[in-house]
Structure 1
Amino acid sequence: QTTAWGSYSVFDWLSASVRGLYTTEGAIKFAYNGIYNPVGPMDYTSNYGGHYWDLGFGLNAMMPTGNLRGNHLSVEWLQPIHDDPNGYQLPHVGTLAATWSYSF
């Protein structure tokens, strides 16, 4: 997994960011060699791994003064741009991440 990002300070208390993310997941090389009956796509090792490109946009707010001093809120939307999965897999969907912290 490789990522590159940049950030820009919009105000003293708010910054915006953009992130590019490339993920590669290797395929499974071995399988269970005992007796079993495959019942779905998840049972075939050829359906694991692939290459994925994502683009993220975020906001980061930190309150330096006032009643909310020390509070820190971050949100990021990560949007899949290109999927190249091995075999049959569900498509990747966008992800929203939010964190809140307090500094004292």
Structure 2
Amino acid sequence: MDKYRVYFMPDAIKDLEDIYLYIVEQSGFPERAWNYMERLKSKCQELETFPIRGQLRSDLMDGLRIYPLDNKAVAAFLVDEADSTVQILNVFYGGRHYEALIDS
């Protein structure tokens, strides 16, 4: 089975940083926030094997897929089968309305 290369795009990196800062602010525990962020990144990295999962949302963007990372976070990503790559566009946390953000 071929593996795909997973890339975090700048908006996804910013989302992860924002999630980290939010959890630190709310909990006061940087280690907890760091561990959670690392778990989210690890779940995204799992897309390297069988990236065609989650919900296809071509109504928002051609080829866009939404994949739940846990009960509070989802990843929005694109798969390029020709190049065997996955681009993580965003990581949405805590009920952020991804449809409005992607659609704009």
Q: Aligning the two structures, in what range does the TM-score lie when normalised by the shorter sequence?
A: under 0.3
TM-score using structure 2 length: 0.27
User: Hey, which of these two has a bigger chunk of strand by percent?
Assistant: 1
Return the index of the structure with the highest Cα Rg: 1
